[in-house]
Chains A and B, each alone.
Chain A
Amino acid sequence: MDALTWTGSFGSTLIPALAIAVGFFLAGIILQLIMTTFATEVKLQSNADGTLKARSGPLGQLEKLNSQIFLLILLLLAAIIVVSWFMPYGKAGILGEISKRFLPVWTALIVTFVFSIMFKRKLGLYGKLFDSTVGMIGYALVMFWVFTAIFVGLFDMIATHDPLQQVSGLKIKEPGTAVPDGQDAEFFPHYLLGGDNLARDIFSRVVHGSIIVMIIAPLATVFAFMLGITLGLPAGYYGGKLDTILSFVANLILAFPVILLFFLLVTPELIDLGVPNYMAAVLFIFPLVFFAVLINSRYYTQPSKNTLHLALILLPLIYVYAAGISEQDTVLYFLPASFDAFTLPREILVVFVSVVFVNSPTVFRIVRGLALDIKTRDYVAAAQTRGERPWYIMLWEILPNARGPLIVDFCLRIGYTTILLGTLGFFGLGLASESPDWGSTINAGRKLLLFATHLALPPAIALLSLVLGLNLLADGLREESLKD
């Protein structure tokens, strides 16, 4: 097998066309910016039937032209993906082969977008997201990685090799290097993004890394939110001593430089002492408390319903909690092994706990601020006059009315958690060094960065695109939720 080139037979046609189109598009944007500072602004005007008039003048023309170029770019990208699918193996170059590997992801993305746009008026805030271009781009980037994680993790589809498999002779090899002969017949014949310092396939490692991020980052953010909400609501609502103490503790954690905290928490000695297990036992109890209070405050007056709902929600949660924190060979080991449904690997647990720990004070401060603001509203006063109990007011009056900013912050915070996970990996803390997560891969690649850039660049770009997607998504959501 020959080595692959980057663009294959597209090199002479579609790729240059794409490059020219992108160049024109960027030039158009810059030209528009320059023109807006000189030209008089053309206000949007509406026709008699309520539709908008097209903007006139050179600026309007340019705007129109640029949006057409943008469509052309999208069309060219689609063409590259579609055409490469029909090309025989090896003809489409590295980019074409990669886009072929991602085919299930493309399909899933298209299906999601088509259905979401079809029913967007019935889907509430989620549907409104499809009114903003920025939000759609962000959503596409996020869903790209979500689908990648699903297809790699559950169906073993996209990756070309095993992320830990080493093939001799492919150590630090350029992207597109062919796997030497004499391997298995059904072996994928190329390392699409080259080999790393231990001769493993970088492309497969990057797509496998998405699974770790996609499991830990949203889950850790959910836990941080449960903790922040359960403590932040009473701190804001009651105020007084409780607020002073909780705020002091939150500020204490926030004043710690994050990296110093990570270096102190994520050490083998501390893991052996079981500190992460104790922390997990404390931190993981907050979702239980949250749901218990949530249901109890709602159905307090209907005891039979209350017990039923509490039992239905809490019993499974308590089991998951017990199974989650009880681990063999650690300080907290109380469930019999046959009853312990799942075990969290130690290194994942410590990373998870420290990320939740670092994130929750910020969530606490946000929720506390929102509660302070909302408790002065009339509907809260009305509920108080009705004689509702404090926890009912907090969870069923204040919290639903704070959901807008909280949803936006949730998206941003997943992105921030991804950055934190990357930071942990970058310093080689927590996850095992052979783990394919993006931070550890960047860490392995950065030491050779000046000699071989292709080791660290793919995970770096993957992490960037996911975090960027989450930020754009949050921005789109904020814009659309403010329009109400």
Chain B
Amino acid sequence: MGLFILRRFGIMILTALCLTFIVFWLTNLYPKLEVLAKTQGNFRMSDEAVTTFLDNRGYTQALPIKYGQWLGVLPGYVIEGSDGETRARCELRGPPSDINPPLSRYCGIIQGNWGFSTVAKVEVSDVLPTRLANTGKLMFWVMLVMIPGALTIGVLAGMREGSKMDRSLSTVSIVSTATPEYVSGVILIALFATPLFGMQFFKGSAASAVDDANFNNFFLPVITIALYGMGYIARMTRASMTEVMTAQFVRTARLKGVSFRNIVMKHALRNALIAPFTVIMLQVPWLLNGVVIVETLFTYQGFGWELVRAASNNDIEMLLGISVISVFVVLMTQLISDIGYVFLNPRIRIS
């Protein structure tokens, strides 16, 4: 078991390094840096001015070296610029403190230096925690709505395979998986946030939910994300439930005369809920997509909203920070689902 976790962990780190390197490469392409120089300096810069601007700030170093510096395994650059000013990567933007001794040699993500957002003009590490907290709040409510709803639908449908209940609930879950967030969001806003059908119960924007989330401004974004994920988890639960309901021990219980209600509640349910656990965990990366769409649609200033802003403005270090976090979340959920599956299911032992 220990070796298994260790091996998974090694693969995880390798994946994370590859992914961040790809993001690093794609954000540091020369045309993108040129745009960056022009937005930072001025828009009528000549080509030479752009080159010296980038040279002075260490952007034109070789890609692996830049990546190493960003990661914190290579010492940060110290460049004496052509304008006479000396710039260093590890130069402090704020006043020096005990924690950050001035001009430490290494300052990458490993040392806790997430970099500086060139668009918002703040440290990335100042912005991301608040954004993440906002998204965490959203996700908490999504999970609270989605998981019980999906499990109930799945169990009710899988209880009696092929019954009316099964067929109607399966159709409902197909409809929900076929509705991407940007469609259900638009339809829900049209139904419940505009006077079109006389049902203006909620607000169409969740901008105010950042500080003060209530039923009125938070319900629509939560339900929009939950609906898309719900159908998939419900179908997986249904499949697992129908499998358990045809198992030998359920037949034995039935032959012994246990009532249907007791069979479902005491015998089937516990065994049927192992598989959905994995599915819920693997659903998290998909929820991440939903979060980006919904936060953009409802202008909720969370992690996804920041991703869109950083990506459309080529805010390099912010984007890198965001991809580190999202890659970490995705890989962690994969790891948890693997380990959790082994723990929950005694029939699986890893040699």
By a beta-carbon cutoff of 8 Å, the part of chain A in contact with chain B is 29, 32-33, 36-37, 41, 134, 248, 251-252, 254-260, 263-265, 267, 269-270, 272-273, 415, 419, 422-423, 426-427, 439, 442, 445-446, 449-450, 453, 456-457, 460-461, 463-464, 467-468, 470-472, 475
Contacts and interface: CB of A to CB of B under 8 A. Distances in A.
29 contacts: A29-B164, A33-B164, A33-B165, A36-B165, A41-B163, A251-B15, A255-B327, A255-B330, A256-B19, A256-B22, A257-B288, A257-B326, A259-B292, A259-B293, A260-B23, A260-B307, A264-B26, A269-B31, A445-B186, A446-B186, A453-B189, A453-B190, A453-B196, A456-B186, A457-B187, A460-B187, A467-B179, A467-B180, A471-B178
A470 B288 CA distance: 24
A468 B184 CA distance: 13
Contact of A422 (B182, B308, B314): B182
Nearest to A427: B308
Given A134-B171, A273-B29, 13 more contacts: A33-B164, A256-B327, A263-B308, A267-B32, A270-B29, A422-B180, A423-B180, A423-B182, A426-B296, A442-B186, A449-B190, A449-B204, A461-B183
A36 B163 contact: yes
A267 B319 CA distance: 14
B178 A415 contact: yes
B174 A471 contact: yes
Interface residue SS majority, chain A:
helix
Contacts of B304: 259
Given A134-B171, A263-B312, A457 B186 contact: yes
A463 B196 CA distance: 21
B178 A255 contact: no
Contact of B23 (A264, A267, A270, A450): A264
Q: Which 4 residue pairs are nearest across A and B when measured between Cβ atoms?
A: A263-B311, A269-B31, A453-B190, A468-B178
B226 interface: no
B142 interface: no
B336 interface: no
B322 interface: yes
B311 A260 contact: yes
A415 B183 CA distance: 14
Contact of B289 (A258, A267, A446): A258
A463 B180 CA distance: 9
B297 A446 contact: yes
A257 B26 contact: no
B285 A37 contact: no
A424 B331 CA distance: 25
A257 B330 contact: yes
A134 B74 CA distance: 60
Contacts of B193: 450
Contacts of B323: 257, 260
Between A36, A264, A439, the greatest number of chain B beta carbons within 10 A of the residue's beta carbon is seen for: A264
A457 B190 contact: yes
B258 interface: no
B285 A255 contact: yes
A384 B5 CA distance: 37
Contacts of B285: 254-255, 257
Nearest to B169: A33
A264 B174 contact: no
Between B18, B168, B174, the greatest number of chain A beta carbons within 10 A of the residue's beta carbon is seen for: B174
A270 B160 CA distance: 53
A33 B29 CA distance: 59
A263 B307 contact: yes
Nearest to B35: A269
A276 to B, nearest CB: 13
A272 B31 contact: yes
A471 B173 CA distance: 10
B177 interface: yes
B228 to A, nearest CB: 10
A450 B205 contact: yes
Contacts of A32: 164
Contact of A453 (B29, B183, B194, B314): B194
A426 to B, nearest CB: 5
A269 B331 CA distance: 30
B12 to A, nearest CB: 9
A426 B292 CA distance: 11
A439 B323 CA distance: 25
A29 B168 contact: yes
A264 B308 CA distance: 11
Contacts of B179: 464, 467-468
Contact of B19 (A252, A272, A457, A468): A252
B182 A460 contact: yes
B118 interface: no
B133 interface: no
Between A37, A134, A255, A470, the greatest number of chain B beta carbons within 10 A of the residue's beta carbon is seen for: A255
Contacts of B247: none
Nearest to A466: B178
Nearest to A469: B178
Contacts of A258: 289
Contacts of A423: 180, 182, 289, 293
Interface in B183-209: 183, 186-187, 189-190, 193-194, 196, 204-205
A460 to B, nearest CB: 4
Contacts of B163: 36, 41
B120 interface: no
Contacts of B288: 257
B175 interface: yes
Contacts of B196: 453
Nearest to B194: A453
A378 B32 CA distance: 56
A456 B204 CA distance: 14
Given A36-B163, A255-B327, A426 B187 contact: no
A269 B32 contact: yes
Contacts of B326: 257, 260
A453 B191 CA distance: 9
Contacts of B297: 446
Given A251-B15, A260-B326, A464 B178 contact: yes
Given A36-B165, A260-B322, A252 B26 contact: no
Contacts of A36: 163-165
B174 A468 contact: yes
Interface in B303-336: 304, 307-308, 311-312, 314, 322-323, 326-327, 330-331, 334
Interface string B246-289: 00000000000000000000000000000000000000010011
B174 A255 contact: no
Given A264-B23, A264-B26, A248 B183 contact: no
Contacts of B187: 457, 460-461, 464
B285 to A, nearest CB: 7
B59 to A, nearest CB: 14
A456 B184 CA distance: 11
B27 interface: yes
A128 to B, nearest CB: 18
Given A260-B322, A260-B326, A449-B186, A255 B289 contact: no
B177 A471 contact: yes
Nearest to B330: A255
Contacts of A270: 26, 29, 31
B11 interface: yes
A427 B296 contact: yes
Contacts of A33: 164-165, 168
A446 B285 CA distance: 25
Between B32, B190, B204, B285, the greatest number of chain A beta carbons within 10 A of the residue's beta carbon is seen for: B190
